[in-house]
Amino acid sequence: MAILNILNYPDPRLHMVAKPIKEIDATIRHLIDDMAETMYDAPGVGLAATQVNQHIQLILIDTSKTKDHLQVFINPKIIAKSGEKEYEEGCLSVPGIYESVTRADKVTVEALDRDGKKFTLKAEGLMSVCIQHEMDHLLGKVFVEYLSPLKRNRIKSKMVKLQRDR
């Protein structure tokens, strides 16, 4: 396994739309393992393949306190949403930035697991937020795009400066 490089906002590759995964093979499972190691090392609770410059429909989430309940979503689709709630979100691609975003409180998602088995999950609270946040990455959207243009530009400037200072 390996720690992968996480793209930082405003990298244009974060705005690429991910393609569906046609076959779940050893390469995909290896990527899942590398992404899991990367996410836990960061540390984060979710990671989309887009964030590690792989533009395929794959997200990982682990909201457990013990960091031992990895959930893999391949080709995820939200099939139902309800309610609305504001949550403070952060992102491994926008390190150190936390802002409130309004999202659906509950979602139902269909996806394939790492073995290609289809499943349906009803999620609420943090898990619901994570699913929506990570699926946005697959659509080429970063959470700061929900913010006002002023806030977004401030964050963009801060991120560009951080990358320059490295």
Span 119-156, pLDDT tens digits: 999 999 999 999 999 999 999 999 999 999 999 999 99
Angle value at C-alpha 68, between 113 and 9, nearest 5 degrees: 75
List pLDDT tens digits, range 6-39: 999 999 999 999 999 999 999 999 999 999 999 9
- Residue 6 counted as domain residue: no
For residue 58, is it within any domain?
Answer: yes
Which one of 37, 110, 134, 145 is the catalytic residue? 134
Could you tell me the residue range of the domain that residue 133 belongs to? Answer: 12-165
- Is 134 catalytic? The answer is yes
The CATH number given to whatever domain includes residue 27 is 3.90.45.10
Q: What is the pLDDT of residue 166?
A: 72
Q: Is residue 137 part of a domain?
A: yes
Mean pLDDT to the nearest integer, 103-121: 97
Give per-residue pLDDT as tens, 32-70.
999 999 999 999 999 999 999 999 999 999 999 999 999
Residue 117 lies in a domain: yes
pLDDT at 84 (0 to 100):
95
Number of domains the chain contains? 1
82 domain-assigned: yes
- Helix, strand, coil percentages in the chain from 3-state DSSP, rounded to 5: 35, 30, 35
H or E stretch covering 97? strand 94-103
pTM over 0.85: yes
For residue 2, is it within any domain? Answer: no
Q: Is residue 38 domain-resident?
A: yes
Q: Which of 85, 133, 126, 128 is closest to 108 using CA atoms?
A: 128
CB 109 within 8 A of CB 129: no
